[in-house]
Chain A
Amino acid sequence: MDRILMVDYSKCTGCRLCEVVCSVKKNGAANPARARIAVVKWESVCVDTPMLCQQCQSAPCVAVCPVKAMTRDEGLGRVKVNDDLCIGCRFCVAVCPFGAVSLDHVSRRIIKCDLCDGDPTCVKFCETKALQYVDATAANTSKRREAAERLPELIRGFVAKPKTSSHLS
């Protein structure tokens, strides 16, 4: 069965350990700027949102790639970049709705979460279980995707009204 890397935003403490272990795993260096997960922080209003690839079913990054370097790997339920094919045009960067794919400024490669080949490092280190690698039925996967697509909008609304008691709900 498919497994998905699920984020429970309400549990995230904003510690960024996921970023740092991801970058150590992938690059041998601590450097959040090169991690494949990014904890977007609005420090002044106490909001932290880990963002990473949603491994979209019909992925815009796959659709847009002119050389088919970006492909869907059904086995692991992920979208993968093939470094040998990638020409670094960054179309995928432009179209990903979550900003989950980026150009690594050191290796000059396109990077995105590859689920660590089925053993996600970030999940292991997240103490609060804000990140979980779980079995997912097709139904709740699509439901979560739907919610995740709305997320940027929701967050914007939330941040715009920081001082209301909506924090508590």
Chain B
Amino acid sequence: MKEQRIAYIDLSTREISKAPIPERIRKTYLGGRGIDAYLLYNHISPGIDPLGSENVLVVSAGLLGGTLAPSSGRCNVGAKSPLTNLLGSTNMGGFFAPELRFAGFDHLAIKGKAEKPVYLWIHDGDIEIRDATHLWGKDTTETPAIIRKEHQDEDIKVASIGVAGENLVRFANIMTGLKNAAGRTGMGCVMGSKNLKAIAVRGTRDLPIAYPEEALDYVAKIIQMIRDNFFLKVWSTLGTPSCHSDANNLGRLRYRNLQRNQDPAGENLYAENLQKFTFGMAGCFGCPIHCRHRYVVPEGSDKGSYMEGPDWSTMGGLGPELDISRMESVLVGNQLSSKYGLDSLEFGGIVSWAIELYEKGIIDDRITEGLKLEWGNEKVMYEMMRQIAMREGLGNILAEGPLRAIEKLGEESRYYNVHVKGMSWLHTDDRATPAMALGVATSTRGADHMRSRPGTDSLMGSQEARDKLFGFAVPPDFTCYEGAGKLVRYYELMYAVPDALGMCKFQTLFMSPSTLNYEDYSRLVRHVTGLDISASEMYEAVERIYTLERMFNIREGATRKDDYPPERLMTEPTPATGIHSFQRKVINREKYEQQLDEYYEAHGWDEKGVPKPETLARLGLDKEPSHLL
């Protein structure tokens, strides 16, 4: 643990300072997303402009990042979000975070704004701010290639922004490798606003393991457990796109911006079809699950297009949301959005909204400058990607994200924009699944399912087994309101563990109920780092993290009214398609209110969603901001 350090980098003054991470901070916030939350709460004053030099971009490896802990390659990135004006927080896989640790750093806090485009070169304990004028305008695959060539080292890991980030698209992402995107909440836009094109890292330093033999034995056990798990076969061959067929059959897809919930031509996008283009699966650092496709289009007009991905969210955003069901188009779209550095989920959400507005005559050719915004037309998708990334025409309006685009396109457009806190709803229709809707609506980073996804796993096994696993009476099925509040909170905390340890959510319930729990994580941390963090301390740490994220948003003005699903989900019933219990469903207002009350109460927050003084005291948050780090 002795090597762990944070670097503060001020791009305005070019000052760089380094500090060790006190053990107390480790015990209270673990790492990754936890320390991100802590840093953001301490270093960002309320009300700042997310695009101003006073915003702070934090980049964090997890507590176990780069070690032998399985799937320990995740990197958490945060700042005040230019999309929501609230907490910006996003998480990417790949090999960047481990390399950052091998280079001697666990966390970066980047302030200020460079005068000219720059990139950071971080190498075995050193940090340099280098000129990036020649990289400006390059895409997210060209940039790493040029940097590697410059340093004559193929093993340099690069996190970079594309043209979208440079042009301050409010949902620009940061990419590392071909597939890994720090996608949600516009962190690429923050990088662009700082004139920071890329962060390049390379290191050969040791991460000492406290008890190597125990750690090796224990990780071997975990890997055996993963090997024996039925779900491994699904994730390791079909990846997350395997969810697509289920969602389509149930009637759970956001199709044509929620006008329907099934895609009549959906079969084309089923994971089995993706296999035809796949020449292998890729794993992130230390990951035995390898859920990502490596694909190439072998023939036809898109011949030669190759990439990694798309995950299910991208498939939804570029597929059914826009009514595109040709696999090749989704694959080309995935490649394009990765190269531009655009969040594919936000792209799908906002463009499907625009197409519906055009269909309904709320916007017309004057605004689209003659572009026919049709459903199911991949040319429209490619063109809108270009326009948004380049900030041209209608793209310039959509690049502003839901909150500002609604203002520009008029009051009539509001209802059709399906967003929470200014971030587009995902690629699913959650009108029939109230717990999912609650999780997405209350997430601390806008409409999002990676904070809490009370899904199938909660329905597996007998009711008795489930109640025992969760420790309370869980709802008997998807469509229940009762118990949803507690369930959402359970998942929120559980998912924060891997986010803070730098591991993948596939190492939790996300994969299956028989993966790691708090006890296992606590053991893993002890063997690997030597830190004694008991299961209950870990549980408390993630409660603390979630509550501090909530406090960040409250400090920026978020209130209970920001915790609701979009109006459309509460007024317009699902069509009579899909399975019976998903038909003609809306989120029931009254029951939703009760759900929300239950959720707040479970967290120890008051009826306005504000953490109660006793909760803050119990979690040791009553003295924040404390500036200990």
Q: Which A residues contact B (CB, under 8 angstroms)?
A: 10, 13-17, 20-21, 24-25, 27-34, 41-46, 48, 105-106, 121, 124-125, 127-128, 162-165, 167-168
Q: Is B284 interfacial (CB-CB < 8 Å)?
A: yes
The CA-CA distance from A46 to B278 in the complex, in Å, is 11
**Quick one: which of B141, B286, B306 contacts A16, CB cutoff 8 A?**
B286
A125 partner residues in chain B, CB cutoff 8 A: 219-220, 223, 288
Contact, CB under 8 Å: A15 / B154: no
Closest chain B residue to A125, Cβ basis: B223
Known: A28-B209, A31-B205. A167 touches B286 (CB 8 A): no
Contact, CB under 8 Å: B206 / A164: no
Contact, CB under 8 Å: A21 / B290: no
B57 partner residues in chain A, CB cutoff 8 A: none
Known: A17-B287, A43-B178, A125-B220. A163 touches B144 (CB 8 A): no
Closest chain A residue to B288, Cβ basis: A127
List the 9 shortest-distance A-B pairs measured between CB atoms, nearest first: A15-B283, A33-B204, A29-B206, A127-B288, A13-B283, A13-B290, A165-B298, A46-B294, A30-B207
Q: Is B234 interfacial (CB-CB < 8 Å)?
A: no
The CA-CA distance from A31 to B308 in the complex, in Å, is 26
Contact, CB under 8 Å: B286 / A28: no
A46 partner residues in chain B, CB cutoff 8 A: 178, 279-280, 282, 294, 306, 308
Known: A14-B283, A24-B216, A41-B155. A29 touches B144 (CB 8 A): no
User: B385 → chain A, closest Cβ, in Å?
Assistant: 21
B281 partner residues in chain A, CB cutoff 8 A: 13
Contact, CB under 8 Å: A163 / B304: yes
Q: A14-B283, A21-B68, A30-B67 are in contact. List 11 more A-B contacts (CB 8 A).
A: A13-B281, A13-B287, A15-B290, A17-B68, A20-B67, A20-B285, A33-B203, A41-B95, A44-B144, A128-B290, A168-B279
The CA-CA distance from A33 to B206 in the complex, in Å, is 9
B164 partner residues in chain A, CB cutoff 8 A: none
**Quick one: which of B209, B280, B306 contacts A13, CB cutoff 8 A?**
B280
Per-position 1/0 for B390-401, Cβ under 8 A of A: 000000000000
Known: A10-B280, A46-B178, A121-B216. A29 touches B208 (CB 8 A): yes
**Quick one: which of A13, A21, A164 contacts B304, CB cutoff 8 A?**
A164
A31 partner residues in chain B, CB cutoff 8 A: 102, 204-207
B186-243: which have CB < 8 Å to A? 203-209, 212, 215-216, 219-220, 223, 226-227, 236
Contact, CB under 8 Å: A24 / B177: no
Closest chain B residue to A11, Cβ basis: B280
Per-position 1/0 for B233-277, Cβ under 8 A of A: 000100000000000000000000000000000000000000000
The CA-CA distance from A34 to B174 in the complex, in Å, is 30
Contact, CB under 8 Å: B227 / A127: yes
Q: Is B379 interfacial (CB-CB < 8 Å)?
A: no
User: A21 → chain B, closest Cβ, in Å?
Assistant: 5
A14 partner residues in chain B, CB cutoff 8 A: 282-283
Known: A24-B216, A162-B306. A42 touches B154 (CB 8 A): yes
Per-position 1/0 for B286-297, Cβ under 8 A of A: 111110001010
Contact, CB under 8 Å: B220 / A168: no
Contact, CB under 8 Å: B286 / A15: yes
Q: Is B299 interfacial (CB-CB < 8 Å)?
A: yes
B154 partner residues in chain A, CB cutoff 8 A: 41-42
Contact, CB under 8 Å: B212 / A28: yes
Contact, CB under 8 Å: B102 / A32: yes
Contact, CB under 8 Å: A167 / B219: no
Contact, CB under 8 Å: A13 / B296: no
Q: Is B303 interfacial (CB-CB < 8 Å)?
A: yes
B304 partner residues in chain A, CB cutoff 8 A: 163-165
Range, interface on chain B: 35 or more
Contact, CB under 8 Å: A127 / B204: no
**Quick one: which of A16, A21, A128 contacts B95, CB cutoff 8 A?**
A16
B296 partner residues in chain A, CB cutoff 8 A: 163, 165, 167-168
Q: Is B145 interfacial (CB-CB < 8 Å)?
A: yes
B203 partner residues in chain A, CB cutoff 8 A: 33
Q: Is B422 interfacial (CB-CB < 8 Å)?
A: no
The CA-CA distance from A48 to B203 in the complex, in Å, is 19
Q: Is B341 interfacial (CB-CB < 8 Å)?
A: no
Contact, CB under 8 Å: B216 / A25: yes
Contact, CB under 8 Å: A44 / B212: no
B299 partner residues in chain A, CB cutoff 8 A: 165
Closest chain A residue to B64, Cβ basis: A30
User: B628 → chain A, closest Cβ, in Å?
Assistant: 27
Closest chain B residue to A106, Cβ basis: B206
User: A16 → chain B, closest Cβ, in Å?
Assistant: 6
Q: Is B66 interfacial (CB-CB < 8 Å)?
A: yes
Contact, CB under 8 Å: A34 / B306: no
The CA-CA distance from A163 to B296 in the complex, in Å, is 8
Known: A17-B68, A21-B219, A124-B220. A27 touches B280 (CB 8 A): no
A20 partner residues in chain B, CB cutoff 8 A: 66-68, 285-286
A121 partner residues in chain B, CB cutoff 8 A: 216
User: A127 → chain B, closest Cβ, in Å?
Assistant: 4
Known: A46-B308, A124-B220, A168-B279. A29 touches B95 (CB 8 A): no
Contact, CB under 8 Å: A44 / B216: no
A163 partner residues in chain B, CB cutoff 8 A: 296, 304, 306
Provide 6 A-B residue pairs closer than 8 Å at the C-beta atoms, listed in order of the A residue.
A13-B280, A15-B285, A20-B66, A31-B204, A43-B178, A165-B303
User: A114 → chain B, closest Cβ, in Å?
Assistant: 16
B177 partner residues in chain A, CB cutoff 8 A: 43
Contact, CB under 8 Å: A127 / B226: yes
B144-194: which have CB < 8 Å to A? 144-145, 154-155, 177-178
Closest chain A residue to B220, Cβ basis: A124
Contact, CB under 8 Å: B206 / A24: no
A24 partner residues in chain B, CB cutoff 8 A: 67-68, 209, 212, 215-216
The CA-CA distance from A121 to B219 in the complex, in Å, is 12
B118-161: which have CB < 8 Å to A? 141, 144-145, 154-155
User: B122 → chain A, closest Cβ, in Å?
Assistant: 15
B67 partner residues in chain A, CB cutoff 8 A: 20, 24, 30
Contact, CB under 8 Å: B209 / A30: yes
- The residue in B203, B280, B308 that gathers the most chain A C-beta atoms within 10 A of its C-beta is B280
Closest chain B residue to A21, Cβ basis: B68
